[in-house]
Amino acid sequence: MGEIAKPVSSLGAIVEGMVKSAMSVALPPTFPNADPEIRRSERADFQVNGMMSIAKKLGVNPRVLAGDVVEKIKLQDQFATFEVAGPGFINVTLSDQAILSQVAFRLGDDRLGCPTASKNKTIVIDYSQPNIAKEMHVGHLRSTIIGDSLARVLTFRGHKVIRQNHLGDWGTQFGMLIQYLLENEEINPTKETSTEKVSSDISDLNRMYRAARELFDSDPEFVQRSRKRVVSLQAGDEETIDHWNAIVAESKRYFRQVYDRLNVLLTEEDAVGESFYNSMLDEVALDLEARNVAVRSQGALCVFFDDIVGPDGNQVPLIVQKADGGYGYATTDLAAIRYRAKTLQADVILYVVDSRQALHFKMVFEAARRAGYIDDKVVVSHVSFGSVLGPDGRPFKTRAGDVVRLIALLDDAVDRARQTILEKNPDLGEGEALLLAREVGIGAVKYADLSTSRTRDYIFDVDRMLSLQGNTGAYLQYAHARICSILNKFSSSPPIVRDDVVMEPPERRLALLVDGLPDVLAAVEETSEPHKLASYLYELAHTFTTFYEQCPVLRAPSETIRQNRVALCELTAKTLELGLHLLGIDAPNRL
């Protein structure tokens, strides 16, 4: 066959490039970037749908236009056939040789043929955002794992990703907590804490925080003492700072335990708390007022917006500085966005925060633009997400009405996975069973979240998550393990792909689907939607099952066909493994 150029992305991208090249000749110069609208098709491998909308704008017959485009396509030897169909579609059927050549290329490439993005960017991702002295709960789950998956995909795509864990570590509540501890507990800011004690220590801090809040809400004298302690904290009083550092260190040790359990990339170096921006707040307030971006209203410094009004019809302000001189979240977020754009030189800033904060970020982004902290070259985006619901369809709570502790939720998933694994594999050693249970249990929790469109709510149901049937993480892990089992029966030498073999329809469907991974990753980057990758992996696993049932691998009719099918198995396994890794999920070789 003729030489096919080394693919830059996928067969679909090659077809799109050929069609666009032909369109540039067949269409008037007024349509330089017309979209050919190439889609996968039941009638062919791909279908070009864009001719009808273009023809309508030109006032010409779409079928005639499609014919003109087909005539201008420069065919590579035996690459594909292009046929006009219906009112103006173009059906594209690739040759078996083209598909098999692509399989061989992807299998021999460390990145499975996935290119890096055409333009590398510096991307800041703000995600997880737990509060110091408080246990992480189910409400932190989505931000943490959605942000982590985006960080993985964008890094794989070749971008410089800067992870930012915006910790809540400053403010009145810390004066309140430190004062309570000094009055009620013996604390040693220099003590060393073992890993085993981290969970209990953070629970103690959480309990004392609640006790401090109850006292703060009921005792005016304690309120005064707490506010004095805040002043001491802001002034850098040594004793107060020592205790604050102890609380922060204790919390970070606990966060590390949670992140290790979840298998996310966040480290202590990624933690940039509100305290980091504290020294910048006065400057931000003065700057916004000097630029007339913010104005004084009833003693507070505010930014107003014509299109944001309350039920009473009055404008709702973004408060930069309170009437008493204090600062809130808005000021910290404005300082952060300026730091990320100017100091970190971010091209893109993503805020993975729940959808309830949409109005807040709309105001912060607009205020930052007015102040010149960001310009048109910097993309800022609120990557919003819905809620995790309980079986009753309401926000997930304990029976007592409290938020569900994240560690408890993860432990429950691992315990149930362990029971299921031991039921199916009673001879499995305890150590291996526990390792697999962690991979399957945590993977199940993460996949249930990531396979849901992030803007939607979803019900947390561990039994469904661990099912080997349907669109679950356990199903994908089992599919990967099953393929590994098949490959173990084949010789250790790499399969040799021959491109002069006729492919069966299930082989073609599987090979074309595997080839689509680069396009899926590009779509995840464009939309910040990891569920597109999850959906792709599920379709891949399902398509492999059909292929395996209809196309014998180890008992193939010839050695050449056997080698090609083993190559498809290996490429599918590697694609599943890579895709699951980019979702932050393990791909065990056996289950």
Q: pLDDT per residue over 180-189, tens digit each?
A: 988 886 454 4
Whether 242 and 361 share a structural domain: yes
Q: Residue 451: CB partners within 8 Å, gap ≥ 6?
A: 471, 473, 531, 534, 535, 538
Whether 162 and 31 share a structural domain: no
Give the span between the Cα atoms of 375 and 353, in whole angstroms. Answer: 22
Q: Name the strand (E) or helix (H) holding 38.
A: strand 38-40
DSSP notation for 142-162: HHHHHHHHHHHHHHHTT-EEE
In this prediction, what percent of the chain has a pLDDT beyond 70? 94
Residue whose entry in the numeric block shows the structure tokens 């792909």: 497
pLDDT of 201 above 80: no
User: Which of 388, 408, 426 is where one domain is finished?
Assistant: 388
Instruction: Render pLDDT for 541-561 as a digit per residue (tens, 0 to 9).
Output: 999 999 999 999 989 999 999
209 occurs within a structural domain: yes
**What's the pTM value of the predicted model, to 2 decimals?**
0.92
- Sorting pLDDT into bands at 50, 70 and 90, what band is 399? low
Whether 205 and 257 share a structural domain: yes
204 occurs within a structural domain: yes
User: What's residue 198's pLDDT?
Assistant: 38
Tell me the average pLDDT across 282-295: 96
Instruction: Render pLDDT for 499-532 as a digit per residue (tens, 0 to 9).
Output: 889 999 999 999 999 999 999 999 999 999 999 9
- Sorting pLDDT into bands at 50, 70 and 90, what band is 2? very low
Give yes or no for a contact between 386 and 455, defined as CB atoms under 8 angstroms apart.
yes
Q: Residue 387: CB partners within 8 Å, gap ≥ 6?
A: 139, 354, 395, 396, 457
Whether 74 and 203 share a structural domain: no
- Sorting pLDDT into bands at 50, 70 and 90, what band is 45? very high
51 occurs within a structural domain: yes
256 occurs within a structural domain: yes
User: What's residue 77's pLDDT?
Assistant: 64
Whether 67 and 158 share a structural domain: no
Give the span between the Cα atoms of 97 and 103, in whole angstroms. Answer: 10
Instruction: Render pLDDT for 75-110 as a digit per residue (tens, 0 to 9).
Output: 766 788 999 999 999 999 999 999 999 999 999 999
297 occurs within a structural domain: no
Whether 50 and 147 share a structural domain: no
Average pLDDT score over the chain: 90
Instruction: Render pLDDT for 303-319 as a digit per residue (tens, 0 to 9).
Output: 999 999 888 888 999 99
Give yes or no for a contact between 576 and 514, defined as CB atoms under 8 angstroms apart.
no
267 occurs within a structural domain: yes
Whether 140 and 41 share a structural domain: no
According to the 3-state scheme, what is the secondary structure of 193-246?
Answer: CCHHHHHHHHHHHHHHHHHHHHHHHHCHHHHHHHHHHHHHHHHCCHHHHHHHHH
User: Which of 364, 388, 412 is where one domain is finished?
Assistant: 388
Whether 85 and 216 share a structural domain: no
Exposure of 314 in the CB half-sphere (CA atoms within 13 A): 5
Whether 348 and 214 share a structural domain: yes
187 occurs within a structural domain: yes
Give the span between the Cα atoms of 463 and 444, in whole angstroms. Answer: 10
461 occurs within a structural domain: no
User: Which of 44, 77, 94 is where one domain is finished?
Assistant: 94
pLDDT of 29 above 50: yes
Whether 87 and 134 share a structural domain: no
**Paired tokens of 465:** 């998550």
| Domain range enclosing 85 | 11-94
pLDDT of 195 above 70: no
Instruction: Render pLDDT for 324-345 as a digit per residue (tens, 0 to 9).
Output: 888 889 999 999 999 999 999 9
Domain containing residue 21: CATH number: 3.30.1360.70
Q: How many domains does one find in the chain?
A: 2
Instruction: Render pLDDT for 411-460 as a digit per residue (tens, 0 to 9).
Output: 999 999 999 888 888 888 888 899 999 999 999 999 999 999 999 999 98
Whether 54 and 138 share a structural domain: no
Whether 70 and 179 share a structural domain: no
Domain containing residue 363: CATH number: 3.40.50.620
